[in-house]
Chain A
Amino acid sequence: MLEKMIFGRYIPGDSFIHRLDARAKLLFVFFFIMVVFIANNWITYGILLVFTFLIIKLSKIRLYFLINGLKPVVFLIIFTFLLHLFFTREGPIILDWKFIKIYEEGLKQGIFISIRFTVLVILTSILTLTTTPISITDALEILLNPLKKWKLPVHELALMMSISLRFIPTLMDETDKIMKAQMARGSDMTTGNMKERMNAIVPLLIPLFVSAFKRAEDLATAMEVRGYRGGEGRTRYRKLEWALRDTLTLLTLVVLAVILVYFRN
C-alpha cells in the first residue's frame, strides 16, 4: 500500500553517477544549488535544463520514474508559479480579464522559478536514488568533520541519521503489515470523516510505537554487546575513494558556472 513511495529511496545500478564518490555528489548538489541562482534569462535557464537532462541520461534512471517522484512537490511548484504569475507587476500586460491582470514579467518569473525548483528537486532525487544511504551518511560525516572543533557531535549525528535511514523501510513494511491486520479486523482507514479516520489511526500507531521501541532497545543492546563505544578511534569497513572522475565532475560545475555568467543579462 505504501510501496509507491519512492522519495529518498535508492535504486541499485551501475551508471557513471552511481560510481561517483558520495562526497563528490554531495558537494556537487550543494554547489549546484548556488550555481542555479546565476541563471536569469531564457538562454541560461535553457542551459540548466539541458545540463540536468544530461545528468538524468548519465544516471540511467527512467525519466518516467523521476517524474513520478516529483509528484509530492508538484503542488509546491504550481503554488510558487501562481504566486509569481499574479503578484509580479512589471512589464507589459498580456492578459486583462475582470480583476485579473497578468504581466509579462510575472509569467516569465513564474516559469523561471518553476524550472529552478524542478531542476533542484530532480538533482537531489538523483543523489538519493543513486547513492546508498550509508554512503551519504559516511560522506556527510567526513565533510562535516572539521566542525568537531566547535563541539558539534558529528559522529553521533551521522550515526543517528544512518540508523533512521536504515529503519525507514522496516517501519514501512511494519506499517503495511499492521494496517492489513487491522483492516482484516474491519478497521477502515481510507473512508469516513476526519474524526473516524483519526480514530482508525490509533490501532495502527500503538503497535507501531511498541515495535519501534522494542527494536530500538534490541539495537542498543546488540551494539553494546559488540563493544560499541562512540566514534573515538573507530575505523571504517567501507572506505570512500576519491578518483579523478570525481574531481572532473566538480570541474564541470565550474564550467557550467562560467557559461552561465557569460550568457546571463
Chain B
Amino acid sequence: MDISLQQVSYAYAKDTPFEKRALYDVDLLIPSGSYQAIIGHTGSGKSTVLQHLNALLKPTEGVICIGGTEVVAGKKNKKLREIRQKVGIVFQFPEHQLFDETVLKDIMFGPMNFGVPEEEARQRAIELVRLLGLPEEVMEKSPFDLSGGQMRRVAIAGVLAMNPEVLVLDEPTAGLDPRGRKEIMDLFYKLHIEKGLTTILVTHSMEDAARYADRIAIMHNGRCVLQGIPKEIFSDEDRLMDYRLELPQSIKFQKKLEEMMNKKLPSLCLTEEALAEELARLLKKEREI
C-alpha cells in the first residue's frame, strides 16, 4: 500500500483563539514495503504527520492517499474502518491505552473490533505474547499488574494483532532499557522483512534510523525539509546541525578516525557492525603492505 501526502497542512483547534499550525505543505511518498524513518526535533510535527496516516486527523489543506483511498479536508470517508485496520499505529507510550481485565483480552480488542472471530483473535493473541517474549503466565493477568516494559509489549501486541499492512511506530522504545529497546526494534525489523510490512518509524535515535530505515525524512518546524536514503542524509553534518540533529555514533567515530589518520574510509558506516568490518579490512590491508 503506497501512502502519499501531497501539500498537507494542518492546524490544531482551527478557528479558535488557540489555533496552532502544526504542518505546512508536507510532501511525502512512502512506497509499499519500504521502511521510512521520520526524524526531527521535539515539536517539529512528527506525531501530527503520523496521525494523518490513518485519518485520525484530516488535513486542513492538501490530500493524503492511503492505498487507493483519498483523505481530503472536510469530507466524510466511508472507508475509514478499512484504513484503520490496514494501518496500525503504535502511539507514544502505548501502555496508556491498556484497559481490559486480562492481557489476552486486551490484545484481542483490536481484531475483534474489526470482526475477527473470538477464537481466531485468541489464537493470534497467544502467538503474539510468545513472539514478544512475554512469559506465558502473564496471559491471564491484569495488564495493570505488569512492569512498564511488559505493558509496552502488550500494547504493541494489541496493534500487531490487527494484522496491519502498514505499521506506524511513534517512538516505540522511548523509556525502555537498552536491551529491551534492541529486542523490540529487531522484532519490528523482522516483521518488516518477513511479512513485507510497510514500516514508518518516528525516532529520536539516529542509530536506529541509520540501521533500519531505507529512507529518512527530516521534519523541522512543521515542514518536511529533507528526504533521502540514510547515506545521503548523514553525509551532510552541517545541514543536520541546522535542524538540531546529530550523526549516529558509528559515523561520528568514523569522522574522528578519518581526521586522525588523514585518510577516508571507502564508504559511510551506518552501523557499528559496518564500521567494524571496514576497520578490519583496513587493518588487514595495512598488515599486508
Hey, which bits of chain A sit against chain B, CB under 8 A? 3-4, 6, 9, 11, 62, 65, 68, 174, 177-178, 180-188, 202-203, 206-207, 210-211
Known: A177-B96, A203-B99, A210-B144. A184 touches B17 (CB 8 A): no
- B16 touching A3, Cβ below 8 Å: yes
- B13 touching A3, Cβ below 8 Å: yes
Task: Give the distance in Å from the alpha carbon of A187 to the alpha carbon of B158 in the complex.
Answer: 13
10 contacts between A and B (CB under 8 A): A3-B12, A9-B18, A65-B17, A68-B16, A177-B96, A181-B97, A185-B110, A186-B162, A207-B97, A211-B96
Chain A residue with minimal CB distance to B93?
A: A177
Which residues from B are CB-within-8-Å of A185?
Answer: 97, 109-110, 113, 158-159, 162
Chain B residue with minimal CB distance to A200?
A: B113
- A184 touching B54, Cβ below 8 Å: yes
Task: Give the distance in Å from the alpha carbon of A183 to the alpha carbon of B162 in the complex.
Answer: 13
Which residues from B are CB-within-8-Å of A211?
Answer: 96
B263 to chain A, nearest CB (A): 50
A169 to chain B, nearest CB (A): 10
- B85 touching A186, Cβ below 8 Å: yes
Which residues from B are CB-within-8-Å of A184?
Answer: 54, 56, 84, 88-89, 91, 159
Which residues from A are CB-within-8-Å of B13?
Answer: 3-4
Classify the secondary structure of A's interface with B.
helix
A210 to chain B, nearest CB (A): 7
Chain B residue with minimal CB distance to A181?
A: B97
Known: A185-B109, A186-B84, A203-B109. A180 touches B56 (CB 8 A): yes
With contacts A177-B96, A188-B81, A203-B99 known, what are 13 further pairs, Cβ within 8 A? A4-B13, A4-B16, A62-B17, A68-B16, A180-B91, A181-B89, A184-B56, A185-B158, A185-B162, A186-B113, A186-B114, A202-B99, A203-B100
- B109 touching A187, Cβ below 8 Å: yes
- B56 touching A183, Cβ below 8 Å: yes
